[in-house]
């Protein structure tokens, strides 16, 4: 039997990590549809996730940067201006009428206004955002720990995933959504962010609230959050793969 700290096994896992990483280097816009590639994605996803969890401790933190590294302008990608009537109405009134709905497998479903979220303990972190398209950008995010919001509503024992429902439709016309497991959701750097670089989140970057999951690739970080749903399975959400891009061939586990 090989143990996790066996050097041979560790080298194997490191190689697997690199292989998983290389597969990720296809662009956000280049969607792979072949079955072979799909199963490779699935297999490398599971392996990468296992490898990460053996090599990195449960609580390992994403690197944080000094203020001088903050990019003058944080690049925007994907949807940059949601077009739905509802979103436009909310934006026109500075998101004063916006509420985050938290529901599903929770004890007390609740709606949070932006003011209510700003009243909760805040965390600020300067991190690097990595998009699979091959660009990175360093920015400073301020928000409330997702774990604190989850504790407020009480997560039921049967819940396994947190699903983030967004306001925008992207190519294909589906609503953007994403999901995390509870371990990633309770990571101390997983935030519901309302400020970027000390100012309210711009619309291009996900106003009024977006997810930051700093150990994951950019596509996991859902913008324009409307609703958070606790579920025991991802099968019945979207097309069943756990996210808008996952439904189009990307890995659900996007750890970096």
Ligand X SMILES: Nc1nc2c(c(=O)[nH]1)N[C@H]1C(S)=C(S)[C@@H](COP(=O)(O)O)O[C@H]1N2
Residues that bind ligand X (CB under 6 A): 28, 74-79, 131, 166, 168, 170, 176, 204-206, 218-219, 221-224
CB of 163 to ligand X, least distance (A): 13
CB of 128 to ligand X, least distance (A): 12
Spell out a b/e string for 21-55, using b for 16 or more CB atoms within 10 Å of the CB, else e. Answer: eebbebebeeeeeeeeeeeebeebbebbbebbeee
Axis-axis angle for helices 7-23, 35-55 (nearest 10): 140
Give the integer Cα–Cα distance in Å for 158 and 153: 14
Nearer to ligand X (CB atom), residue 28 or residue 153:
28
Examine residue 245 and tell whether it contacts Mo ion (CB under 5 A): no
Nearer to ligand X (CB atom), residue 155 or residue 254:
254
Residue from the set 13, 17, 28, 203 that interacts with Mo ion by CB under 5 A: 28
Complete DSSP assignment for 109-157: -EEEEHHHHHHS-EEEEEEEEE-TTS-EEEEEEEEEEHHHHHHHH-B-T
Nearer to Mo ion (CB atom), residue 95 or residue 219:
219
- Count of residues that bind Mo ion according to CB under 5 A: 4
Residue nearest to ligand X (CB): 78
CB of 210 to Mo ion, least distance (A): 13
CB of 14 to ligand X, least distance (A): 26
Considering only residues 109 through 168, tell me which ones interact with Mo ion, judged by CB under 5 A. Answer: 131
CB of 137 to ligand X, least distance (A): 7
What is the sign of the dihedral through the CA atoms of 231, 233, 235 and 238?
positive
Q: Which stretch binds Mo ion (CB under 5 A): 27-35, 38-46, 102-110, 155-163?
A: 27-35
Give the integer Cα–Cα distance in Å for 40 and 164: 26
Whose tokens are 């859902």? That residue is 222
Per partner kind, with CB cut-offs from 5 to 8 A, the member of ligand X, Mo ion, none near residue 205 is ligand X
Residue 72 in tokens: 């003058």
How many Cα atoms occupy the beta-carbon half-sphere of 62 within 13 Å?
A: 22
Examine residue 238 and tell whether it contacts Mo ion (CB under 5 A): no
The three-state secondary structure class of 78 is coil
CB of 7 to Mo ion, least distance (A): 35
Q: Which stretch binds Mo ion (CB under 5 A): 23-31, 53-61, 68-76, 184-192?
A: 23-31
Q: CA-based angle 139:142:143, to the nearest 5?
A: 135
Q: Which stretch binds Mo ion (CB under 5 A): 25-33, 37-45, 105-113, 189-197?
A: 25-33
């Amino acid at each position: 039997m090989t143990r996790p700290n066996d050097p041979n096994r560790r080298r194997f896992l490191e190689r697997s990590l690199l292989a998983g990483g290389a597969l990720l280097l296809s662009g956000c816009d280049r969607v792979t549809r072949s079955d072979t590639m799909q199963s490779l994605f699935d297999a490398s996803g599971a392996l990468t996730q296992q490898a990460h969890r053996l090599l990195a401790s449960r609580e390992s933190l994403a690197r944080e940067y000094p203020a001088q590294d903050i990019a003058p302008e944080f690049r925007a990608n994907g949807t940059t201006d949601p077009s739905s009537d509802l979103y436009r109405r909310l934006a026109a009134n500075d998101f004063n009428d916006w509420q985050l709905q938290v529901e599903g497998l929770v004890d007390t479903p609740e709606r949070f206004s932006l003011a209510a979220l700003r009243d909760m303990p805040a965390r600020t972190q300067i991190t690097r955002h990595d998009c699979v398209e091959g660009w990175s950008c360093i920015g400073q995010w301020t928000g409330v720990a997702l774990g604190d919001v989850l504790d407020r509503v009480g997560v039921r024992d049967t819940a396994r995933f947190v699903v983030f429902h967004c306001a925008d439709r992207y190519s294909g016309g589906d609503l953007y959504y994403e999901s995390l497991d509870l371990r990633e959701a309770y990571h101390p750097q997983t935030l519901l962010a309302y400020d970027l670089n000390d100012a309210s989140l711009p619309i291009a970057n996900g106003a009024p609230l977006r997810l930051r999951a700093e150990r994951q690739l950019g596509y996991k970080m859902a913008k324009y959050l409307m609703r958070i749903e606790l579920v025991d399975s991802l099968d019945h959400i979207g097309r069943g793969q756990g996210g808008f891009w996952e439904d189009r061939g990307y890995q659900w586990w996007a750890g970096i």
